[in-house]
Amino acid sequence: MAEIIPVNYRTDILPEYSDTPVGLLLEYHNLERAAGSMRKRRLLIGMCMDSRSAIRMPRNFAYVLRTAGANMRDNEFRMSYAISVLGVRTIVLIAHTDCGMKTVGDKHDEFITGMVEFAGWTAEQAEAVFAEGLPKFGISDEVEFVMGEAARLRALYPRIEVAPLLYQLEDHLLYQLR
């Protein structure tokens, strides 16, 4: 079971994140650290596309990839480009509470009907995409998922720091996960 650790003071930042881009992100977002000017973006943030979560950080602080559920599968080329060409050395994955990917399996009929009505697909096309996507993108628990995704990316990029965080919609703060 993952431990969810709040950041209300600078001393709450875990030692492994202190004085790193992860720690700075936590300071900017939770502690309202004054934004300085950034020359190099060395941080990639992977987070959900849900518009209820917004991160406070200076301009040019990080590259941001938004995907359903903060699921980085099928984004390996984009991440690899950011690492190899753009100089990213840290990846932060941010899950959030009340994620729609937890209930995506319950939306089967709505998905099929919506794709037929709004996108012009056939029901068979929509069914095939749903059947393929559900096991790949549906999640059972936000924290468990982001911890697993962080482990997967650490194995893929062993020299890159990968930090899982949780954005709680209830208070709009970031929490560390361990």
Going along the chain from its start, the domains and CATH numbers come out as 4-99+140-177 (3.40.1050.10), 101-138 (no CATH)
Could you tell me if 4 and 177 are in contact, meaning their C-beta atoms sit under 8 angstroms apart? yes
pLDDT of residue 60: 87
> For 107-116, what is the mean pLDDT?
98
Is a pLDDT exceeding 90 seen at residue 41? Answer: no
DSSP, res 140: S
pLDDT digits (tens, 9 = 90+) for 116-156: 999 999 999 999 999 999 999 999 999 999 999 999 999 99
Q: How far is CA 111 from CA 52, 72, 73, 114, 122, in A?
A: 21, 22, 21, 5, 12
Longest dimension (CA), the chain: 55
- pTM over 0.85, yes/no: yes
In this prediction, residue 59 carries a pLDDT of: 87
Which pLDDT value is given to residue 169? 97
For residue 38, name the pLDDT band (cuts at 50, 70, 90). Answer: low
Query: In the predicted model, what is the mean pLDDT of the chain?
Result: 95
Residue 9 corresponds to which amino acid? Y
CA–CA separation, 85 and 62 (whole Å): 14
